[in-house]
Chains A and B, each alone.
Chain A
Amino acid sequence: MATSTTKSDSHEHGSDLSSDSISLFKRPTAKTGLLSWLTTVDHKRIGLLYGASALFFLLVGGFEALLIRAQLMVPNNDVLSADVYNQMFTMHGTTMIFLAVMPMSAAFFNFMVPLMIGARDVAFPRMNAFSFWVFLAGALIINASWVLPDANGLTVDAPNIGWFGYANLTSSTYSPGLGTDFWILGLQILGLASIMASLNFIVTIINMRAPGMTMMRLPVFVWMTLVTSFLLILAFPAIAIALAELMMDRMVGTNFFEVAKGGQPILWQHLFWVFGHPEVYILILPAMGIISEVLPTFSRKPLFGYPIIVFSGAVIGFLGFAVWSHHMFTTGLGKLATAAFAMTTMAIAVPTGVKIFNWIGTLWGGKLLMRTPMLYALGFIWMFMMGGFTGVMHSAAPADAQQQDSYFVVAHFHYVLIGGSLFALFAGIYYWLPKITGRIASERIGKLGFWTIFSGFNIAFFPMHFLGLNGMPRRIYTYADNLDWNRWNFVSSIGAFLLGIGAAILVIHVLYTVFKGEKAGDDPWHGRTLEWSISSPPPEYNFAAIPMVRARDVHWHDKHTDTPPPVNPASAGERDHGVHMPDQSWYPFFAAMGLCIGGFGVIYTSAFGWAAGTVALIGAGILLISAYLWALEGPAGYHLHPEEEEGK
């Protein structure tokens, strides 16, 4: 293998690439076109890639949901067969959680966190790119199960084991198809992506803050990113091990969940929910962060009780690890364990309630501007509270025994996940779109989208409370027409279609705004945080000079004080030799590709034996070689001169 030393003068950017780096390929320098996206290490571009993928998978998962609702609209329906129905709800849950909500949060982590803390990028830009490509590899693997063939040339059944894949339904006895293997490997790879991205964000937030940006001056969204990242690195290992044990059971004949050999399926539930419950907070804490940014901006008031909001978020994250067994009340944990987990679950409502009151305190006496982001934020508070109340109902173990596995639970978590997470993420989209694209979304279509989504969502999911209390269980593909479930199922389906129309309006509106929207200016909302102090869209280097932070709502402070912000002593040197930018790189993409190929190889070993094993080894080889070349090329970089850039 020929390695060539990239000499500094061979570099398009001029004279300053380190001659230290060893590289198989010439270091990519394209600034536009496909190559620039495949090799980018810019946190803003990676954020956009996450955002675009998330919106795409939101539509995919939404389409799956509409098929489910079409099937359930009337009794004894046959839009979907029982088997396809199982695949549909499994893929709907998996897609929405891992491929829509989490990456949409990751999009904002990527795009906003460095801007909000006054940094030029994340701590490890190439690793950040790698996290995204690995995420895409995992998404590809899970969804490939819709189309790829198995050993007999027939299409593989998509995963049909429910998003929490309870043992021993997932054993090779009860799920002989490859769909479960696609699910296992896909989730495993997605978990790897999440852990790496989170390690990067924690280091970034702790280490890359601008001078004066103390921890207690961090915007709440950054704080919630930090807490979420800690949850991710500590919770994902549990499911990674559970998935590895399940994979070994299916592929090499271990006995982890084999009842005949003494394996206990309940172990899967524990390992899964040790991950699964923190996962719930992984989905909602970023949303709470976004709300804590939107509300003060559109109330023209500082956030009420900032330290309490921050500490509540941290307490929620901490308690999130102590409540997992409330998903398992009906498994017979014993009175003591059940009581303990009921208590911790009730306790977690306290810091959540504290946050709600602080948000209301922020609104109180404020000059409220009812723009689209604010509507979504207010919708969030109301809808999330409804989901929260039913959550508290579930924490009472005796009541939960009645609600377990009924549509009441379905109503609960959709209120938390749509009314909570998605409403907040939509608020974030409309709030930050002017910053991200430099273009502002029209209020009329934005509000039309909001009201369609808001009403569609409530019409779809509020009746599910009644259905659940009337005994309709989750995951049934159809029902008889004499159970008194017909009316509310019909209403719910109508609502779901309305919600679908609303989501379509939102996505089309966002895409239209990205390309054709009105120019926004740098600070259209009169924002408080550092991202509003730079141009829209932000330049590649983010800040011409790293800002000096004097106060919590630093941009408001700077706009409203007579004394100009102090000059960062480091910026003088930068004016001299330029801003240090990291070089683009091929290897994050190649390494993720190796992982993707390896994943497919492992999945097919049970069907094709050694041929697939060889593919797996080739994938591992690509991963290993890419890792070495990655290490050898080094971060390198070049110098950029902001004044010249702006002069162009």
Chain B
Amino acid sequence: MSHAAAGAIDPHHEATTATGIPNKKLLMWLFLASDCMFFGSLIATHLIYRLNPIEGNASPTRIFDIELTSGSTFILLMSSLMMALAVEAIQKGNLKMMRVYLFTTVFFGLLFLGGQVYEFNHFVHEKGLTLSSSLFGSTFFVLTGTHGCHVAIGVLWLLSLTLYSYTGKLTRADAIDVEAAGLYWHFVDIVWIIIFTAVYLIEYI
């Protein structure tokens, strides 16, 4: 099998699509639609059980540390701003600023995760709330834990992208790769806003 081939494959060349939307972008949007249903099922589970508590269920307001969680929510929001700036930087071909913004995003993401680790640790050891201690413990840890996993995957993804950029193979033409990661990051952030409202704030009404 030999082919007298001319012209190299351009790895940055995204074949033109029927709609003009890049394949990777469409894929990410569709995945996020699917992910909505994952979180939707978990949040529904939490809210249904919240409305039907039994004797001995944990009392959330006595467990939550709302100041700490509000703080980490703000940090996560700011990480989304950094992410947006990183996407803008690579779209303009400014690799240096993209790295600065991506590192900041990763740093804020890690801060958020640190807050969650501290929170979980605090709940388990100080407040006696565990996965099996009560129904609230089950729904709370599984829902916020799933979100934490999403953040952790996002951190790993963004860190990998940033480090990869030092190979010189991430160029302006690959802005879509950063943009797709950005879509994911913003989504995880938005989901947190919903969780913060439906799990934390709702208990203070």
CB of A17 closer than 8 Å to a CB of B: yes
Q: Which residue of B lies closest to A204 (CB)?
A: B23
Cα(A264)–Cα(B31), bound, Å: 30
CB of A193 closer than 8 Å to a CB of B: no
A639 close to B3 (CB less than 8 A)? yes
Contact of A14 among B5, B30, B34, B40 (CB under 8 A): B5
CB distance from A536 to the nearest CB of B (A): 22
B52 close to A262 (CB less than 8 A)? yes
A248 close to B2 (CB less than 8 A)? no
Stretch of A81-89, A230-238, A335-343 at the chain-chain interface? A230-238
Contact of A267 among B4, B45, B57 (CB under 8 A): B45
Q: List chain B residues, Cβ under 8 A from A640.
A: 3
CB of A241 closer than 8 Å to a CB of B: yes
A638 close to B5 (CB less than 8 A)? yes
CB of B41 closer than 8 Å to a CB of A: yes
Q: List chain B residues, Cβ under 8 A from A639.
A: 3, 5-7, 9
Cα(A123)–Cα(B3), bound, Å: 24
Q: List chain A residues, Cβ under 8 A from B11.
A: 18, 20-21, 634-636
CB of B66 closer than 8 Å to a CB of A: no
CB of B111 closer than 8 Å to a CB of A: no
CB of B166 closer than 8 Å to a CB of A: no
Q: Which residue of B lies closest to A239 (CB)?
A: B41
Stretch of A90-98, A462-470, A517-525, A576-584 at the chain-chain interface? A576-584
1/0 per residue, CB under 8 A from A, across B27-38: the answer is: 100110111011
CB of B81 closer than 8 Å to a CB of A: no
CB of A124 closer than 8 Å to a CB of B: yes
CB of B59 closer than 8 Å to a CB of A: no
A199 close to B31 (CB less than 8 A)? yes
B9 close to A638 (CB less than 8 A)? yes
Q: List chain B residues, Cβ under 8 A from A481.
A: none
CB of B49 closer than 8 Å to a CB of A: yes
Contact of A252 among B33, B35, B131 (CB under 8 A): B131
B135 close to A262 (CB less than 8 A)? yes
CB distance from B158 to the nearest CB of A (A): 13
CB of B134 closer than 8 Å to a CB of A: yes
Stretch of B14-22, B97-105, B120-128 at the chain-chain interface? B14-22
CB of B42 closer than 8 Å to a CB of A: yes
Interface centre among B7, B131, B138, by most chain A C-beta atoms within 10 angstroms, is B138
A13 close to B54 (CB less than 8 A)? no
Q: List chain A residues, Cβ under 8 A from B41.
A: 237-238, 240-242, 271, 274
Interface centre among B7, B31, B160, by most chain A C-beta atoms within 10 angstroms, is B7
CB distance from A510 to the nearest CB of B (A): 30
Given contacts A16-B8, A255-B132, contact A233 B18 (CB under 8 A): no
Q: Which residue of B lies closest to A15 (CB)?
A: B5
Given contacts A207-B17, A252-B132, contact A636 B27 (CB under 8 A): no
Q: Which residue of B lies closest to A19 (CB)?
A: B8
Chain B 25-79 interface residues, beta-carbon cutoff 8 Å to A = 26-27, 30-31, 33-35, 37-38, 40-42, 45, 48-49, 52-54, 57
B57 close to A262 (CB less than 8 A)? yes
Chain A 191-213 interface residues, beta-carbon cutoff 8 Å to B = 195, 199-200, 202-203, 206-209, 213
Cα(A15)–Cα(B3), bound, Å: 8
Cα(A558)–Cα(B160), bound, Å: 50
Q: List chain A residues, Cβ under 8 A from B54.
A: 261-262
Cα(A256)–Cα(B140), bound, Å: 11
B27 close to A641 (CB less than 8 A)? no
A577 close to B5 (CB less than 8 A)? yes
CB of A245 closer than 8 Å to a CB of B: yes
Q: List chain A residues, Cβ under 8 A from B18.
A: 206-209, 213
Q: List chain B residues, Cβ under 8 A from A641.
A: 3-5
Q: List chain B residues, Cβ under 8 A from A644.
A: 3-4
Q: List chain A residues, Cβ under 8 A from B42.
A: 241
Q: List chain A residues, Cβ under 8 A from B6.
A: 576-578, 639
A254 close to B37 (CB less than 8 A)? no
B135 close to A18 (CB less than 8 A)? no
Q: List chain B residues, Cβ under 8 A from A236.
A: 34
CB of B142 closer than 8 Å to a CB of A: yes
Q: List chain B residues, Cβ under 8 A from A253.
A: 131-132
A14 close to B4 (CB less than 8 A)? yes
List 11 other contacts, CB 8 Å, given A638-B9, A641-B5. Answer: A8-B8, A195-B34, A233-B30, A234-B34, A254-B142, A255-B134, A261-B134, A262-B53, A271-B41, A578-B7, A637-B9
- Chain B residues within 8 Å of A, Cβ to Cβ: 1-11, 15, 17-19, 21, 23, 26-27, 30-31, 33-35, 37-38, 40-42, 45, 48-49, 52-54, 57, 131-132, 134-135, 137-139, 141-142, 160, 169
- Chain A residues within 8 Å of B, Cβ to Cβ: 8, 12-18, 20-21, 31, 123-124, 195, 199-200, 202-203, 206-209, 213, 233-238, 240-242, 244-245, 248, 252-256, 261-264, 267, 271, 274, 576-578, 580, 628, 631, 634-641, 644
**Would you mind naming 12 contact pairs between A and B with Cβ atoms under 8 Å apart?**
A16-B8, A20-B169, A207-B18, A237-B35, A238-B37, A241-B38, A256-B135, A263-B135, A271-B45, A578-B7, A634-B11, A638-B3
